[in-house]
Structures are given as C-alpha cells and as structure tokens.
Structure 1
Amino acid sequence: MRPTTYKLKRIKSKNTYAYSARLTQKKFRLATYSNKSFNVTHQEKLRVNGKYRIYYFAKNLAKPNVTGWIWRGYLTKTTPGPLSKTALNRLIASSPDLDPNNKILKLNPNVYRQFAKTFDKQYNVGNFAFPGLFFHDHATIYVENSPLQTVVSAAISKWNTALGADVFSLGNKGNSTLTIRFGNGSDAGWDGLFDGFNIQVDQKHFSDNSYVSSHSLTPRFKEKIRELSAQASQLLLQTNNELSVTQKNFEAQSQHLNAEIQGATSDVQRAQLQQQLDNLKANYQAADQQIKHDYNSQIEQIRQQIKADYQSEQGSSSDTLETNYWITVVTHELGHTLGLYHTPYQSDIMYAPTDNESESTLSPVKYSWNSPKDPNSPKASETATLSTRDIDRAKLTKLLGYW
C-alpha cells in the first residue's frame, strides 16, 4: 500500500496497545498517542480470537521511533494536505531538474498519493515492478549464473548504502523475489534489461573482456588527453608567434638592405650589400626550419606520450573499467525495480542516451532528449557511482509506495 497518513482515534482504555509483528509483543499504549498522526505503510490480515482483523503498520509522525501494528478500527484516514497542485508545481520548479530536493521529500504523505501522476512525470519515475517483488520494502535476489555474483553483490551494496536500508539482499532460488541471469541482448541492443519480473545481463558482451575498454576511456585518461591537447595548443601558439617575429625581423632587415643596395655608389659596395642580403635570407630560412623542426619534435613527444598512456590505460585499468561498467549495468536495472526511469545526465547511474528506448519499463518523461545534458561530467558507467539525483529519486519512489 502507498504510505498514507492516519489519525489515532481518542483511546480511553489503558489496556489497548500497538503490537510487534504477528502481535507477539506489546509496543506502546494507544491512549498515550490519542489524536496523534501516524504514517501507515503496510497492512496484514491476522487471526485474533478466531476472527480475522486488518492491522496497519504505523509510524508516529512526530516520533518516528514509535512504531507498531494497530488495528485499523482505531485509525481514521486524514484528509489530503492543503497543498494545491499549483503550489506543488512551484515546489517542483524550484528543485533541481529531475532531482527531488528535501522540500519535495518531506511533504505530507497524502500529497504523494494525491499527485502520484505529477511526481511520475516530473521526475521520470513509475511503478515498474510486478506485485510481490518487494515485500516489506525488501527484495531478495537469486543470481542464477555465478559469474554475475560479484557485480550483483556490488550493485546491492551501492543501493543499500545510498538508501541507508536493507533494500536488496542475496537469497536462493526458493526464497527469492527477483532473479538475475544471463540473457541475449546483443542483437536487441541492450546490456541489461528489467522486464518487471527478472533482470537479464547480456552474456556475449559480459564474457568479452575487450567489449568495454574498446568503447570507453577512464576519466583519468581523458583528463590526461585534455592536458596534452592543451600543451599542443599552447606549443602551436608559441611556434606561430616565434615564426611571425622571425619573419617580421627578416622583412625589416631585408627592406633596409634593399634600400642600401639601391643607393650604393659602387659595384663593390653593391656586391657587399647583396652578399649581406643573401646571408640574411639563408639565416632566416635556417631559423624558420629550426623553429618548425623543434615544433614537430615536441609534437611527436606529445603523440608518443599519448600512445604510451593509452597502452598503459588498456593494460592497467581495463579490468577496473570492465568491472565498473557491469556493476553500473546491474545497479541501473535495480534502479528500474525501484521505479526509476532514465535521465539525460550521464553522471547518473540511470542515464540513457535517449528517452526513446524500447523497454518494458517505459514511463512518461518530463521531456525528450537525444544527447547528455552534462557532456563534460564523468560518466557513471565508468565510475559506478550513484548520483544525488539517483538516490533522491529512489527516496521519492519509496514515498510513492513503488517499493
């Protein structure tokens, strides 16, 4: 059920309690919290004294550590909060693009229920998982193919750490609610796919150790390329300036000598001046060639440095690059189970190059895109890092009751 705010009725009896799971222990007296508001997130049908009753799991809004299972007859649903759709849209417009900030994540629980479709479209989220995948905010994962075990464990750790909760855990075939296995996505153009029930990882590309490194470069290497490119640009600028100064000096001196040659009063003087002009031309040509030679030598050094760095990149970091990529793939697909659709930010785990992708997790999106909105940011596929936007949207889908 979606989180909903209820108010505890006025309870006079001191012998009426909230209970732990399965009503095995008393948690607190209801009379202490008469007329107080509670956030209800789950319900259970339990047999009490031979009759079935519906109990709600409730958390006190003022004291979140006060929780327990309360018979629904003691609770009344509160009316939706006073927030209008116009006011909500203003709040959304003031938050970062596709990133629900604290103001959005701390609204009255009824607002999420009342304006679920608005949140879906404004933050690219939706309820993608089939019923039963999450039980009490938790999914148990069975990894069918052992080579996937390491990356799945890493992806689970990333989401659990980011959300501060045990959202995913590893299980076996018998107790799992979600299976992750190899599939065939090469022809269809996907490396990972969530179909509402299971997650598949393309086996062909996963088994190809050169697949990722042949398509990606690490942020460290890209930064090195930028540095060397800047050096080459600066060197070209300096060389052009030096050539220009040398040429201007030659032209000024040759113009002066030509004037003296024209004004020479004897053949001997004219011959001497002509020899000086010839020497000047020879020196200028030699200097011009030397400047160009020095430039080409330094450019070749930069080329060799790039080549050496690239070879080192392929040797030393390809394993890390491969691992990070496949961790990102699984983390991305787990994001779909949480209700997250794609974003145009390549720094997000949930990034996709375009919004027009044929997946079973299609969702109405805030806007269309065909290129990243942050082209200069590090790619999450290379760092395997959840962004603030990824985490905040997952917190929002929790409030919307999608997991």
Structure 2
Amino acid sequence: MGKKKWLLSLAVAILLAPTLPFAQAVLPDSVAVTQTVAAKSKATSKSTVVSAIKQTPDLNPTAKVRHFSQATYAKYGALFDKNYNVEKMSPYSVFGDAQEAYVYTSSPILKRYMYAAMQNWNKALGTKVFNLGTKSHKTITVKWKYNGASEEWDGMYQDNSLWINKDDFDNVNYVPNTYQAALNKEMPGAGNPNSSTYKQQYINYWIAIITHELGHSLGLDHSPYTTDIMFSDSETAGPDFKYTWKRAKVDGSYAEFKNSLSQRDINRAKLTKLLGYW
C-alpha cells in the first residue's frame, strides 16, 4: 500500500472511531466479571440467612443454606453452628488445603473397622475425605484406650486422636446391653456371641462408633435423632447446640445399630466443609 493511501485509510479510521461500539463490546464483560467476583466476596444480609435457616428442617442444612458466599459463612459462622449443632473440632493440619485427612492405626483389629467407617463418609460425601495413613504420614490416629466399663463413652475424638474403649470392645455383653437399653428388646443373637447374627451386629456397631467419631472430626456435634449416626441421648443448649434434650427423638431405627448415615448427617458435613471446618 502506498504512503498516501495508507495515510488516507488511517484518517478515515480515526474519523469513524467515535461511532464504533468498541467500548460497549468490551466494557460489559469486564464489568460482569468484576461484579461476579464482588458478589462472591460479599456477605449476604443476616435477615436473608436467618430466613433461609427457618426454611430448613430441624438441624438439617439443606441446599437452601448451602449456596451462600464464603464471606457469608465466615461472617455468620456462629449462627450456623448454633442452628445445626456444628463447630470446628479439628486443627487445620488434620485436613489441610486438600480437605483430606490421613487416618492411621497400629492395631490390625481396629484397621478393619476404621477403614469401613472411612468409606461410609467417603461414599456419602462423594469425595475421598479420609485416606489410609501410615505411621510416618498421618493426621488422625485411631487407638485403644483402657478406661474400664465405668466410663460413659465407647468412642471419643479430640484434636486429631480417636479412641475406642477397649474394655467395651472386648466385653461380649456390651453391644447386646446397649441394644436392649435403646430399643427395649433383646438384640438378635445376643445369647450366642459365636453366631453370625451376633457377629454382624457387633461389627456394624463398632464401625458405626468410629463413623460417629470421624463425624466429630468433620465438625459435627451430636443430634437427638436416632436415625443420625451422630445421635446422642442427651445434650445441653450452647453455642454449638440449638437446644437441650434429655430424651431421644425416635424417628425410625437407630443408626448406631444399622451402621448408616442419614441425609441430615450428610448435609451437616457438607455445611461444615463450607464453614471451613474440614
């Protein structure tokens, strides 16, 4: 192109530039991105959060309260804790940036139950939250504790340690007695510890206990509902407890004897992930 023609083309382009919708074609996209980022970082109003909570079943954080921004969960964490019986129970190092824990036990006996409990949560949440750890690479340790039958717990979680009461585990009458006290009827196979019926119930119970304790590691506190793996027969209202209860809310079978997670258990675990508890 000759120099004169080139200059003429340039002059025409400059004269036409104000009429071209160049700015309108670019600006809306950049503004939209900025607005999206701002929306994600902005906390929803408290009244909106409270309204959403009221629309969910008791202690069950359905999708109605699991779509807010990260800023909302950070700002109103105490509100979610109180209404859904949750709190941070594990140090950050347990799950870390990857949101995965490595669970280890030196006991060959406990390993079987521990692995089954890990899979309960992994399958329910659709992600590998709990991985098998090793002696040198672990973030949760599962171990025995000899406390005697007088202790009122069969499993316990604190910080990054999960204990199973060895005296209860070894007591052939412990599971049948617990079953009788809860359901007011004799456990199938109770009189014959060597029967397949007894053994299956025994296995289910101890997997459920470890599943319950791993639930604590995720930030789940107790529930009054018997169909929840996080069931407890009594608790007192507090920062992470919506209300006091002294009797179980029997809404079907007992999860601890069926080794099953309820949808409420799963929804609460999904909420605690949003809250940054695992």
Taking structure 2 as the reference length, the TM-score comes to 0.79
Q: Give the gaps of 5 or more residues in structure 2.
A: 1-28
* 1:114 pairs with 2:75: yes
For the structure 1 residues 117 and 210, does the alpha-carbon distance in structure 2 shift closer, same or farther, using more than 3 Å as the test? same
Greater Rg over alpha carbons, structure? 1
Query: Partner of 1:36 in structure 2?
Result: 33
Q: Tell me, what secondary structure is at the counterpart of 1:212? A: helix
Instruction: Provide the rounded CA distance (Å) in 2 between the counterparts of 1:104 and 1:77.
Output: 16
Cα deviation code 1:176-197 (max 9, x no counterpart): 0110000134433110011112
Q: Tell me, what secondary structure is at the counterpart of 1:133? A: helix
Q: What is the number of residues matched between the two proteins?
A: 246
Instruction: Provide the rounded CA distance (Å) in 1 between the counterparts of 2:104 and 2:76.
Output: 35
Which residue of 138, 154, 177 corresponds with 1:176?
Answer: 138
Query: Partner of 1:365 in structure 2?
Result: 241
Q: Tell me, what secondary structure is at the counterpart of 1:132? A: helix
Task: Give the % identical residues.
Answer: 33
* 1:149 pairs with 2:146: no
Q: Aligned partner of 2:110: which letter?
A: L
Q: What displacement does 1:207 show?
A: 1.5
Query: Partner of 2:17 in structure 1?
Result: none
Q: What displacement does 1:77 show?
A: 9.1
Asked whether the 8 Å contact 1:341–1:363 carries over to 2, the reply is no
Q: Tell me, what secondary structure is at the counterpart of 1:179? A: strand
Query: Partner of 1:139 in structure 2?
Result: 101
Q: Tell me, what secondary structure is at the counterpart of 1:367? A: coil
Which residue of 204, 208, 226 corresponds with 2:171?
Answer: 208
Q: What displacement does 1:131 show?
A: 2.7
Q: Tell me, what secondary structure is at the counterpart of 2:162? A: strand
Root-mean-square deviation (Å)? 3.0
Equivalence map 1:311-390=2 (5 Å): 315-356=195-236, 364-373=240-249, 375=250, 377-390=252-265
Q: Tell me, what secondary structure is at the counterpart of 1:214? A: helix
For the structure 1 residues 37 and 167, does the alpha-carbon distance in structure 2 shift closer, same or farther, using more than 3 Å as the test? farther
Taking structure 1 as the reference length, the TM-score comes to 0.56
Asked whether the 8 Å contact 1:140–1:176 carries over to 2, the reply is yes
For the structure 1 residues 103 and 77, does the alpha-carbon distance in structure 2 shift closer, same or farther, using more than 3 Å as the test? closer
Q: Give the gaps of 5 or more residues in structure 1.
A: 1-32, 39-60, 62-74, 226-305
Cα deviation code 1:321-355 (max 9, x no counterpart): 11111011100010000000001001100011111
**Greater RCO, 1 or 2 (C-alpha within 8 Å, sep 6+):** 2
Instruction: Provide the rounded CA distance (Å) in 1 between the counterparts of 2:158 and 2:233.
Output: 20
Query: Partner of 2:3 in structure 1?
Result: none
Asked whether the 8 Å contact 2:89–2:219 carries over to 1, the reply is yes
Which residue of 129, 146, 157 corresponds with 1:194?
Answer: 157
